[in-house]
Amino acid sequence: MYLVRIALRNLLRRKGRTFLIAGILTLAVLLFLGLESFMIGFMDVSFGNIIDFETPHIEVGREGYFEEVKKGRELPLEETFTPDEDLVGEIEAREGFVALTPILDFSADFIAGRYQFPVRVRAIDPESFGNVFRNSEYLTGGEFVESGDPGIVIGRELARFFNLEVGDFYTLRFQDIGGSFNTMQGEVRGIVNVPHPDMNLGTVFVAKDQAQEALGLEEGKISQIMVRMESRDISREEAKNLSGILGNGDLTVRSYREAAEILVHLETWGFIETYFILALFLLVGAIGIISVVVLAAIERVKEIGMMKAMGLKESEIVRIFILEAGGIGAVGGLLGCLLGAVAVFLMKTYGIDMEAFFDLGEFGVPMVGRIYGVWNLISFFLIFVFVIFLSMVASLIPSYWAARKDPVVAIRDR
Amino acid sequence: MALLELEGVKKVYGQGEVKVEALRGIDLEIGVGEFSTIFGPSGSGKTTLLNLIGALDKPTEGSVRLNGSSIGKMNKNKLAMLRRENIGFIFQDFNLIPVLTAFENVDFALKIASKNGVKTGEKAKEVLEMVGLGEKLNRRPRELSGGQKQRVAIARALVKEPKLILADEPTANLDSDTAQGILEIMLRMNKELNTTFIFSTHDPRVMEYARRLLEIRDGRITRDERRE
C-alpha cells in the first residue's frame, strides 16, 4: 500500500508537469472519443440511408449485372432474370427476413424541355416496394408510383435541375432489349426528398409493368430482388448463407456493405484516421511520460538511494515509478473520458451540420444534414484502460533506469 | 559472538592507471551491542567501509560477513533483503521520504521489513514517542526541524529492530544541543535494545559517546581502542 501511496503523492510534487502530460493524454482521449462517436454516427446514418433508399440489407441478382454496375457501365438488360418460387421461398426462409421486392433498374436519359440528364430508372412493384424501402415516406408533393400508370416519381434535385413540378411532362429515352431506342412519356406523379443525395438527383421511379413493356422484356423479368431483414447484424451472415444455398448458379447475393463499397472504404479510412490521430497524441503523451519519469528519477536520486538502503528491491522501486505513470494516465484518461462524454452528449443532442462545411453528396456520401454522435461506452472503458496501460508501458525503461542506480552513488548525490 | 566480520577487505575504484584504493586490507570484528565509531580524515575510507558493512557495496577483495552470511556472494535482491531485515541506516542528510509523514516514514520501514499480517502502526507510534516525536506524527519532513528529522530517521532505523544500525555522520548537520540529544537517544536505544551501532564521524562529540574507537587512515585501521 505504501508503494501506491508514495506513487500517488509523488504525482502532486510536480503538479504542472503531471497535469501537462495528463492534459496531452486528455486531449488524445477526447479527440478519439469525439471522432469515433462522430464516425459511428456518420456511418450509421450513411449505411441506414443506403439500406432505406438504395440497396437494402440483401440483394440478389446476376453476377454479370453487378459486374457491369461496378464498372459504371449502362445497366445491362440482358442480365435480367425471372425469379422462381424456390428462390423466393429460400429468401423468405432466412432468419430475420422481413420483406422482399423485385426491382428492374435500367439506364436512360431523362428529358424535359430542351435538356437531358442520364439517370438510373428504378422500375418497382408498387405493392411491395414500401415494405422494403422508405422512399415513399419522403414525398414532398404528389403521389408515389402506381401500377398501370406511366407517371414517375423523381427526386427533388432532379426536379430543381429541370424546374419541374408535379403534373409536368417528362420523357425517358432508353434502349430496349433489342437495342432499339424507345421512350416513355407521362407526367411527374410525385417528388421525393430523401436524405440520400444520389437518390434525389440520379434516380427515377416508375411502375415495373410500364417499364417491362417499354423495354420489351418478358413479364416478370427483373434485375434484382431486394430483401429487408430485421437488422444489419444478421444480414451479412444470412447473405452468406443464401449464397451458399444458391450454389454456383449465375445468381449472386450481396449484402448492403458489398453494395456500398465506397462507403465501406470511407469507413475504413475514417477509422484509420481516427486511430492515427489517437496514436499521434498518445505518442506525444508517451514521450511526455518518459520525460516525467526520467526527470523524477534525476530529482529523486537520493530518495531512490535511501529506499535501496532501506532494503527495497529494484522491482519495488520500478513499481513506484510505473504506478506514478499509471496515475498520470488515469488522470488523463479520466479527464478525457469526462470531456469526451460531454462532447458525445452535445454531438448526440445537437449534431453537427455537415452541410455548413461542404456538400457530402459531392463525395458520394449517401447523407445530408446533421450527423449525430453515438454513445459507445465500451470505447470509454477501453480507451481509459489503454491510456493507463500505455503510460505504464512507456515508463518501463526509464523506471528500470532509475531503479538500477547504484545506491552508494545515489545516496550521496547532491 | 561477532555480528560483523571483515577479513582482508580491499576496495578499489576505477581501472588501469586511475585506480583508487579506498580500502587496503581491513580486518575487523564487531560484536552484538557494540557502540562504535569509525573516524578519520576526509578520504580515509570511512564511508567506503560503512557502505561495505551496510551491504550497499561489495568488496573487491576479502570477505564481509554479517551474522555469518558473506555479502560478496549475494545478488542484488539478496542484498536488499539482508538490508531490509538486518540493517538500519541514519544519514547526515536524514533522507526521509518527503511525501510521507513522520509516522508513515517509520511505518513504511517497518512494513517492508515485516512479514504479512503483522500490525505495524502501533509500533511505529511507540518508537516515535520514544524519540520524543509523539506529537509530530502527522508532520511531513518539510514541517520538521533538522533535529526532528534526524529523530524520525533514528526511529525509522530502529523500528524494525535491526541487528545493526549504521550512522554516517549523523550529527554533521545539527547544532550542539540537538546533536547531544540525538546521541543520547541512540545510546539509550543501544542499552535498552542491545542494538549494535556503528558511526562514521569526525565530530569529537560523537567520539565521546563511543565505547569503541576505530581510526582509519589511507584505507587501513590504524587504531582500535575500547572504552569502558
C-alpha cell at B48: 567506503
Q: Are B180 and B208 in contact (CB under 8 A)?
A: no
> Which residue is associated with the grid cell 569502558?
B228
Interface with A, mutate which of B52, B89, B138 (most A CBs under 10 A): B89
Element (H, E) at A254: strand A251-255
Is the pLDDT at A127 greater than 70? The verdict is yes
Residue partners of A150: CB distance under 8 A and separation at least 6: A184, A185, A186, A187, A206, A207, A210
Task: Note whether A309 contacts B83, CB cutoff 8 Å.
Answer: yes
Task: Note whether B100 contacts A308, CB cutoff 8 Å.
Answer: no
Is the pLDDT at A414 greater than 60? The verdict is no
Q: Say yes or no: B114 contacts chain A, CB-CB below 8 A.
A: no
Task: Note whether B97 contacts A302, CB cutoff 8 Å.
Answer: no
Q: Residue A155's pLDDT band (boundaries 50, 70, 90)?
A: very high
The answer to pTM > 0.95 is no
CA distance A42 to B8: 79
* Mode of pairing for the β-strands spanning B69-70 and B20-31: unpaired
CA distance A150 to B109: 93
Task: Note whether A411 contacts B56, CB cutoff 8 Å.
Answer: yes
User: Mind listing the domains of chain B with CATH numbers?
Assistant: 2-226 (3.40.50.300)
**pLDDT computed for residue A264 by the predictor:** 82
Q: What are the domain boundaries of chain A?
A: 2-49+264-411, 56-259
Task: Note whether A2 contacts B112, CB cutoff 8 Å.
Answer: yes
**pLDDT computed for residue B38 by the predictor:** 93
Task: Note whether B104 contacts A5, CB cutoff 8 Å.
Answer: yes
Q: Describe the crossing of helices B76-86 and A314-350 by its angle, rounded to 10 degrees.
A: 100
**pLDDT computed for residue A360 by the predictor:** 63
* Chain B contact set for A316 (CB, 8 A): 112
Q: What is the mean pLDDT of chain A?
A: 89
Q: Euclidean distance between the first and final Cα of chain B, in Å?
A: 19
Interface with B, mutate which of A301, A307, A308, A310 (most B CBs under 10 A): A310
The burial of A312, by beta-carbon neighbours within 10 Å (0-12 exposed, 13-18 middle, 19 or more buried), is given as buried
- B-chain residue closest to A306, CA distance: B95
CA distance B36 to B224: 10
Three-state SS for A256?
A: helix
pLDDT digits (tens, 9 = 90+) for A281-335: 889 889 999 998 899 888 888 889 889 999 999 999 999 999 999 999 999 999 9
- Express the helix, strand and coil content of chain A in percent, nearest 5 each: 60, 20, 20
* Mode of pairing for the β-strands spanning B212-217 and B35-39: parallel
Query: Which range scores top for mean pLDDT: A74-78, A131-135, A145-149, B42-46?
Result: A131-135
CA distance A74 to A77: 9
Element (H, E) at A349: helix A314-350
Measured in angstroms, the CA of A397 and the nearest CA of chain B are apart by 19
The three-point CA angle B83-B84-B86 to 5° equals: 60
CA distance A18 to A296: 11
C-alpha cell at A329: 494516465
Task: Note whether B99 contacts A407, CB cutoff 8 Å.
Answer: no
Q: Residue B169's pLDDT band (boundaries 50, 70, 90)?
A: confident
pLDDT digits (tens, 9 = 90+) for A83-122: 988 889 989 998 899 999 999 999 999 998 888 999 999 9
* Chain A contact set for B80 (CB, 8 A): 308, 311-314
**pLDDT computed for residue A364 by the predictor:** 60
Share of chain A above pLDDT 70, in %: 96
Q: Residue A203's pLDDT band (boundaries 50, 70, 90)?
A: very high
CA distance A317 to A135: 66
Task: Report the amino acid identity of residue A372.
Answer: Y
Three-state SS for A95?
A: coil
Task: Note whether A307 contacts B93, CB cutoff 8 Å.
Answer: no
Q: Euclidean distance between the first and final Cα of chain A, in Å?
A: 29
**pLDDT computed for residue B146 by the predictor:** 87
Predicted ipTM of the assembly: 0.88
Q: Residue A359's pLDDT band (boundaries 50, 70, 90)?
A: low
Distances (CA, A) of B171 to A25, B58, B163: 47, 26, 22
Q: What is the mean pLDDT of residues B19-33?
A: 90
